[in-house]
């Protein structure tokens, strides 16, 4: 066979082989493309579900935090009025009238109120976003713990108390961008730190079988990410359920507490009227001593129940020497699962919710 024909035949065979390889490469890249698109779509769909659940959880935490702060402020106002009326009752008495509430419970109520008022004061001044949600997660724990300065919050004064409290709750001072620990993602670990599918670049920069291998690897990573998102969604869903239960219980307790607070305001208003008209306050108040003391005691009893519930951590906290373990910034250290997510405090929350309901039912209406 003449050499030109042999060369021509070889060239045709080579061209055919090249065309086939090119077609195989195109097929592999097309398959890789479909795998990548499918993986991205599945991840995006699950991420959207997660984002909605995270928003729901964050909203529930913010609502709970606002309620807890509102209650804390009201407890402080109740104490001021209760102290005033008790002082009036005890003027000239040898045997002073005292509320039948354990001293440590009264101290816990005061400390919690002080913390809440301090946080509210700083929020009002700085307009810190997410503070309510952060307070729901950390505030109750911090109220009976130590501030970032290592000093009991109740012993601090003014700005020092508010700054220490917020620094502890937010993981840093306001000046350094504190109060970042709020919302759904804050309670989760690295599982949802960010999109895992950074696949478009490295998958398409390869060719043929390599592209297919990379796409399949991306598909596996997408499946792993989706599984993590599913666990995160379930975790946030359970958190939301507990947060709503706590808020519902606190709302019922607070509504009953307000009745006693309003009763004290009514009594105080009446006594002020008697005093302003010089109608004999001492004589009038002596007639009301039993009613006043009963109202104060029942109010404090409800306050103690609410503080117990608020200061029961939503998530498990690492303990040390019968106290709360704090990091170098004064933030409570939470227990975490294998993926770094906070662990719901199921048993303690269930017990406290049941106890709160039971105790509240034993207190008569004002």
Q: Which pLDDT score, from 0 to 100, does residue 207 have? A: 62
Report how far residue 143's alpha carbon sits from residue 152's, in angstroms, rounded to the nearest whole number: 9
Closest CA to 343 of 194, 250, 238: 238
Q: Which pLDDT score, from 0 to 100, does residue 126 have? A: 53
Q: Which pLDDT score, from 0 to 100, does residue 37 have? A: 86
Q: Which pLDDT score, from 0 to 100, does residue 257 have? A: 96
Intervals of the chain under pLDDT 50: 3-24, 146-150, 152-161, 170-180, 193-205
Q: Enter the pTM of the model.
A: 0.81
Q: Which pLDDT score, from 0 to 100, does residue 144 have? A: 56
DSSP string, 116-181: HHHHHHHHHHH--TTHHHHIIIIIHHHHTSB-TTSSBGGG--HHHHHHHHHHHHHTS-GGGT----
Q: Which pLDDT score, from 0 to 100, does residue 74 have? A: 96
DSSP string, 196-265: ----HHHHHTS-HHHHHHHHHHHHHHHHHHHHHHHHHHHHHHHHHHHHHHHHHHHHHHHHHHHHHHHHHH
Domain range annotation of the chain: 32-361
């Amino acid at each position: 066979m003449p050499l030109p024909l042999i060369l021509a035949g070889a060239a045709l065979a080579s061209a055919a082989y090249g065309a086939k390889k090119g077609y195989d490469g195109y097929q592999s890249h097309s398959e890789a493309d479909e795998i990548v698109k499918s993986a991205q779509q599945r991840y995006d769909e699950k991420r959207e579900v997660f984002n909605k659940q995270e928003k729901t959880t964050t909203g529930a935490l913010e609502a709970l935090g606002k309620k807890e702060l509102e209650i804390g402020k009201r407890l402080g106002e109740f104490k001021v009025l209760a102290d005033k009326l008790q002082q009036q009752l005890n003027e000239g008495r040898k045997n002073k009238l005292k509320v039948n509430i354990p001293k440590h419970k009264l101290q816990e109520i005061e400390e919690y109120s002080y913390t809440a008022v301090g946080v509210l004061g700083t929020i009002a001044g700085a307009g810190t976003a997410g503070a309510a949600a952060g307070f729901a997660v950390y505030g109750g724990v911090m109220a009976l713990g130590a501030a970032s300065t290592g000093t009991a919050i109740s012993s601090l004064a003014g700005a020092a108390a508010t700054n220490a409290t917020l620094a502890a709750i937010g993981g840093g001072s306001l000046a350094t961008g504190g109060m970042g620990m709020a919302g759904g993602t804050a309670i989760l670990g690295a599982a949802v730190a960010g999109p895992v599918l950074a696949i478009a670049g490295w998958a398409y920069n390869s060719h043929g079988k390599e592209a297919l291998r990379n796409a399949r690897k991306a598909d596996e990573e997408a499946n792993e990410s989706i599984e993590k998102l599913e666990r995160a969604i379930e975790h946030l869903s359970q958190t939301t359920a507990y947060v709503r239960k706590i808020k519902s219980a606190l709302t019922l307790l607070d509504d009953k507490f307000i009745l006693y607070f309003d009763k004290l305001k009514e009594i105080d208003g009446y006594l002020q009227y008697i005093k302003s008209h010089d109608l004999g306050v001492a004589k009038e108040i002596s007639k009301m001593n039993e009613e006043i003391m009963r109202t104060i005691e029942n109010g404090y009893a409800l306050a103690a129940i609410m503080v117990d519930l608020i200061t029961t951590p939503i998530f498990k906290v690492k303990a040390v020497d019968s106290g709360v373990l704090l990091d170098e910034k004064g933030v409570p250290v939470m227990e975490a699962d294998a993926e770094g997510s906070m662990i719901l405090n199921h048993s303690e929350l269930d017990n406290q919710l049941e106890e709160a309901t039971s105790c509240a039912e034993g207190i008569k209406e004002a």
